[in-house]
Amino acid sequence: MIHSTAIVDPQAEIDKDVEIGPYSIVNAHVSIGSGTVIGPHVTIDPYVEIGQNCKIFQYASIGAVPQAVRFKGEVTYLKIGRNTIVREFVTLNRGTGFGGGVTDIGEDNFLMAYCHVAHDCKTGKGVIMANNATLAGHIIIGDYATIGGLVGIHQFVRIGDYAYIGAKSAVGKDIPPYVIASGDRAVLYGLNKVGLQRHGFSPNTMAALKKAYRTLFRIGLTINEAVERVLAEADNIPEVLHLVDFIKSTRRGITR
């Protein structure tokens, strides 16, 4: 159902059971999947793809041009995965030609009120961003990561899978998978034990990650020394190997 006051461009591709609320604007080159609900006063700019069963609340700004001085009007995109919830006043920007061209919001994300996702960011599956969490450009958020309220994350930072960032943190370096980080500037506070348990991590995996965490961050080794020791003791546990691979591939440095 499309409300009579909504403005929908004829070139937009809208599945027949999509709901669009009063005074919302849907521009050309937009596709919206089955079961999605667009609330009142939402603006969806061109070159946006919204998956199935999403819910976008009032006053959200979806797909505006990026806030990047190097952007010159090139055609770029915003993609939103299915089952994602976008709350009030969230702003999601398109990508840039120099940054890959796509801002990609994953499936089953929950973006609370006033969040901002800038150009060329990518979020994994099941990401939660609490109120006023903000992502600068080119950030990668791993699966099932949680970003607390009022968190600011620097450009090009990566947040690992199942990581948890406490409220009011400023993040300038990569946050490894499976950990808790908090503070200005953010530092590590151990494994995200509650989150890992909720997602069904086995006691054996949890113990292996705890041992690897201690070696990497708590006994005074350099990163290279710690990585070598962890690999020697990893016993081919996939999560430990993933943690080490994440650390080895950092460009901005690892939060410790």
Catalytic residue numbers, as ranges: 119-120, 137
Pairwise CA distance, residues 132 & 147, whole Å: 10
Question: What does the H/E/C string look like for the chain?
Answer: CECCCCEECCCCEECCCCEECCCCEECCCEEECCCCEECCCCEECCCEEECCCCEECCCCEEEECCCCCCCCCCCCEEEECCCCEECCCCEEECCCHHHCCEEEECCCCEECCCCEECCCCEECCCCEECCCCEECCCCEECCCCEECCCCEECCCCEECCCCEECCCCEECCEECCCEEEECCCCEEEEECHHHHHHCCCCHHHHHHHHHHHHHHHCCCCCHHHHHHHHHHHCCCCHHHHHHHHHHHCCCCCECC
Pairwise CA distance, residues 77 & 9, whole Å: 17
